[in-house]
Amino acid sequence: MDVELEESGTGFKFPCWNPLRRRFQPGAPFFAAGTIERELLAKQVALELTEEEKQQIREGVEDWGSSEVFCPIVGCGAYLKSLEDFEDHYNARHTASCSVCSRVYPTSRLLSIHVSEAHDSFFQAKVARGYAMYECLVEGCDAKLKSYKSRHQHLVDKHKFPSSFEFFKKAKPSKRQRQKVQRKQALHKTENASTAMQVEQENIDNLVSAVSRLSTSDSPSSISFGRRHTRGLTFVPRAIQKERRPDLSPEQMKK
Amino acid sequence: MADETSTPQKRGPIKSSVGSVAVQRRREHAVMVGKERREALMRTKRLCRVGVSSENADIPVEDDMMMDEEQSVLEDQTLKAVEKLKHAIGYQGKGATQKRVGALRELRRLLSKSEYPPVEAALEAGVMPTLVQCLSFGSPDEQLLEAAWCMTNIAAGKPEETKALLPALPLLIAHMGEKSSLPVAEQCAWALGNVAGEEEELRNVLLSQGALQPLARMMLPNKGSTVRTAAWALSNLIKGPDPKAATDLIRIDGVIDAILRHLKRGDEELATEVAWVVVYLTALSNSATSMLAKSNLLQIIVDRLASSNSLQLLIPLLRSLGNLVAGDSYITNNVLVAGREITVNVIQALIKCLKSEHRVLKKESAWVLSNIAAGSVEHKKIIHSSEAVSVLMRLLSTAPFDIRKEVAYVLGNLCVAPAEGSGRPNLIVEHLVSLVHGGCLGGFIDLVRSADTEAARLGLQFMELVLRGMPNGEGPKLVEAEDGIDAMERFQFHENEDLRNMANELVDKYFGEDYGLDS
């Protein structure tokens, strides 16, 4: 049998689905609803319970479970009463999107850091002059570093980020671009990748390609930040969304 | 009945006030009542309102609960009743028994008719030592019965009140002996059931004092309310968390036989209480589970599940079935063999519960199915080809969260063969394809989006199966179409490292640079 392990460069092994029997102790939360129902049914006559009361009690039990939750996004921790509340909270607080390139960030702070680093020429100018412009991503740590790479190192060393973490992920070119690249590569077999990218550079509207210049060529791009499309567009394959003009505001792109 | 002519002076002003103070007090009282009612409900204790034996010719003079009776009135009456009882105990002359029984009866009525029995008042008046005296050996049955009844209701409420019964326990246990009259034994069992339902420490005291044996014996006869009360009390007594009582119970002569008999032929009320005993036996004790698995309990449970429509009975039957399947591989390996009628019957019974409108039945039947689906490939085929799948798919889209999670376990388990050795378990592509084409992927991705760690993990694991196992590289496109990439990207800033790694792993592996190149 093929004993294939899912290993990434970091040595992480994906825990594949493994069917196991699950057993619970009698007092486990899993059984709570049924145990309460027993008491409800046994005493409804004696206590003259109204349907309303029974419903209230049943709903009370449901609240005990995993419905209540603290938002798991790092740095947030907001208390939410139900899973619907969590969904609303997530959409309201953790989907800050960039109006330039439509990437989405979980906090407005990270969004603004992105905007400075990716779309602000003044920022790049200061970097070129040697100012420490790259902020640490962890809120509360006021460290500023001189380069993207040194900031990355700071995150790994001081804040135990995984080394594969990439704040600014190289974006995937759109389908049209990919086909263009493939055609060009077929025609100019001896030309290297940078030539193909120079062609993209001419396409100023498409900032996505400008971005691909910035990132290092062989980073494993394990973590992506910011989506290439907005939440509102469901069932639309990513490649097609790529075609949309980036100068459309996120509101227009959303349903 | 206590007279109400002599009311203390202090009550006057309260009774006559009609202003906002009274309204406020009633409102506060209502809020308190709501909370107390809920607490009364959640306790696994039961108040005894009507006598255990029909011979107890208690003319229902004031049978309605004294809902409007002010608490202070009740308390006064209680104090008086306790005093009366104390005097009656001391009295040695003619008609002493009548006096005592009469006083006990008054007290008992106060403790059983009102919605909130004046237990605290009674205890403060020093009723317990007197009641214990009433239980002395050789006392007439009527006296024993009334005294045990009072104690039952004293123990039906708050923890401190229940603990007040400690000095009486050895006597209550003793009066369950085979020479006692049936109503007396039953009333004592009821009182002890309330004590056992309070907390583990009290259960331990009862067990060390030898309560298990007589209660078990009371469960052996074929009929009578005593059997039912004993079963209920036993379910409270063995509920652990220490499995020793459960293990001891199953070993007592005649217990297994009685359990099987009652589940098969008992009326629904009796079967319900006995089923709960089985729930605790199978949840706690491995030896009990093993012994019951080898009996024909499973067949009896399945037959009853199929024929009954009483939610009260279905819940413990289903749970017992679940515990048997979860606790002992004997069931899935030796009993639920493919091709046997019992296997078909079990699946049918589970489908019936899945289709029920009751949340508990839906959730727990999905759990049982998930455990059967975790068995051999044959088991998976049986479930996959049954009606269960269409019901499960519907539930995955529409049911409340906790049910959807269990459904996810079933569907996922159907797609993966049991692991051989230390390798990765094999995919059952045929099942995966049919379920995904049936539309289950969206439901799993919803789980990934939820804030529940376990559910998110399940969702990601299923996505991995889809990405890896769907033929012709269909997986990534399907996942993308359901917004799966978005869902996974949520984890970039998630505090759970495990989930972060899993999500990133999938995005990198299946939606990396090469994604879409050959499309």
Q: Looking at this predicted complex, what is its ipTM?
A: 0.86
Chain A residues with CB under 8 Å of B507 CB are 222-224
Mean pLDDT in residue range A123-151 = 91
Radius of gyration, alpha carbons of chain A:
26
Q: Is the pLDDT of residue A140 over 60?
A: yes
CA dist., res. A31 & res. B120, Å (int): 33
Chain B residues with CB under 8 Å of A49 CB are 41
Chain A residues with CB under 8 Å of B452 CB are 66, 69, 83
A residues 72-111 closer than 8 Å to B (CB): 72-75, 80, 83, 86-87, 90, 94, 106-107
* The pair of three-digit structure tokens given for residue B233, joined into one six-digit string: 């009390």
The neighbour count for residue B223, using CB atoms within 10 Å, is 12
Q: Burial, B151: exposed, middle or buried (Cβ in 10 Å; 0-12, 13-18, 19+)?
A: buried
Beta bridge partners of B419: none
The owner of tokens 């399945």 is B302
Task: List, as one string, the DSSP characters of B173-225.
Answer: HHTTSTTS-HHHHHHHHHHHHHHHTT-HHHHHHHHHTT-HHHHHHHT-SSSSH
Shortest CA gap B416–chain A (Å): 7
Low-confidence spans in chain B with pLDDT less than 50: 1-18, 56-57, 59, 61-67, 519
pTM score: 0.77
Return the pLDDT at A232. Answer: 26
The answer to whether A32 faces chain B, any CB pair under 8 Å, is no
Show the DSSP H helices in chain A as ranges: 32-43, 51-64, 83-93, 108-119, 121-128, 148-159, 175-187, 193-201, 207-214, 238-242, 250-253
The answer to whether A52 faces chain B, any CB pair under 8 Å, is no
Q: What amino acid occupies position B125? A: A
CA dist., res. A106 & res. A96, Å (int): 6
- 3-state SS, A64-84, equals HCCCCEECCECCCCCEECCHH
B81 Cβ contact partners less than 8 Å away, ≥ 6 residues apart: B2, B103, B106, B107, B110, B122
Candidates B465, B453, B444; CA nearest to B396 is B444
Mean pLDDT in residue range A146-159 = 89
3-state secondary structure of A134: strand
Return the pLDDT at A228. Answer: 41
Task: Write phi, then psi, for B351 (nearest 5 degrees).
Answer: -65, -40
* The pair of three-digit structure tokens given for residue B65, joined into one six-digit string: 């609960």
C-beta of residue B142 within 8 angstroms of C-beta of residue B101 = yes
Chain A residues with CB under 8 Å of B492 CB are 106, 223-225
C-beta of residue B301 within 8 angstroms of C-beta of residue B328 = no
CA dist., res. A71 & res. B400, Å (int): 20
What are the E-state strand segments in B98-176? none
* The pair of three-digit structure tokens given for residue B250, joined into one six-digit string: 């199953």
Q: Return the C-alpha torsion angle B328, B329, B330, B333, nearest 10.
A: 160
Beta bridge partners of A144: A135
CB–CB contact B40 A72 (8 Å):
no
**Helix pair B268-284, B225-237: axis angle to 10 deg:** 20
CB–CB contact B450 A86 (8 Å):
yes
Return the pLDDT at B399. Answer: 94
CB–CB contact B464 A16 (8 Å):
yes
Mean pLDDT in residue range A237-248 = 36
Return the pLDDT at A219. Answer: 35
Shortest CB distance from B416 goes to which of A2, A19, A25?
Answer: A19
Q: Is the pLDDT of residue A52 over 50?
A: yes
3-state secondary structure of B375: coil
CB–CB contact A33 B496 (8 Å):
no
pLDDT tier, A108 (very low <50, low <70, confident <90, very high otherwise):
confident
Q: Is the pLDDT of residue A220 over 60?
A: no
C-beta of residue A238 within 8 angstroms of C-beta of residue A231 = no
Return the pLDDT at B32. Answer: 55
Return the pLDDT at A135. Answer: 93
Q: Return the C-alpha torsion angle B434, B440, B442, B448, nearest 10.
A: -110
- 3-state SS, A228-240, equals CCCCCCCCCCHHH
CA dist., res. A155 & res. B123, Å (int): 66
Return the pLDDT at B115. Answer: 73
